[in-house]
Amino acid sequence: MEKLGHVIAIGGGGCGRNPNHNKIEKYILDQSENSKPNVVFIPTASAEDKGYLVNFYSCFSKLECQASHVNFFQRTPRLDSIINQADIIYVGGGNTKSMLAVWRDWKFDKLLLKAYQNGKILCGVSAGAICWFEQGVTDSWASNLNTMECLGFLQGMACPHYQEEFDRRPSVHQMLKNDKAMPGYAIDGGAAVHFKNGDYHRSLQFYPDSHAYYVSCEKGQIIEKKMEMIQL
């Protein structure tokens, strides 16, 4: 059986917020066997926000890689060719529900699964972090946080912005108690969780005091396990 690739799920922050903060981006590049990897940015969740694209290129143009991006809201290129040539696929934040709807209509989800099965590095922030799991906690709806079915490459639930947005933590706890959320990973902004071959590998901290947690509920009691963090 072929080895699956990597998934690096970032809870928030990174190049989209500040292109001069590139610790997690350098870490992602270091996971590639290619000395100058081909990084493809997927900004679908932000409706391909121009400022987001500027920040992406501002960050990655200073690093040892070849950077490009995919548009779905303009004339869309041959997606299979782009993904086949990619070493790293970096998914930006925004509206998870809308992003997945676009991807599924273009059958891009199937290309991403093939990329993962072929050992490529999948990563992303916020919407681009939770999309790889069975279930994500998302603010795609304006009214309140919800869980939604995601791509299912990784087991369980994921929630970004866990401690940096005041309603995230209590909402996740209530969802777990009400059996609306699976057990899974809650990730602060400035933290990331790295999976290899479908299994948990390590948790990473690139902002001070940022953490990742494994949260579950047993007999009505929330269990919040703080992961050991590797500081970048």
The residues annotated as belonging to the active site are: 126, 161
Residue 38: name the closest of 71, 67, 81 by CA. 67
- Residue 93 half-sphere exposure toward CB, CA atoms < 13 A: 20
What's phi and psi for 204, nearest 5 deg? Answer: -125, 140
SS3 content of the chain, % helix, strand, coil (to 5): 25, 30, 40
Which residue in the block uniquely carries the two structure tokens 């690096």?
8
DSSP sequence for 147-165? EEE---SEEEEEESSTTTS
- What backbone phi and psi angles, to 5 degrees, belong to 224? -120, 100
Q: Provide the b/e sequence for 148-185 (b: ≥16 CB within 10 Å).
A: eebbebbebbbbbbbbbbeebbebbbebbeeeebbebb
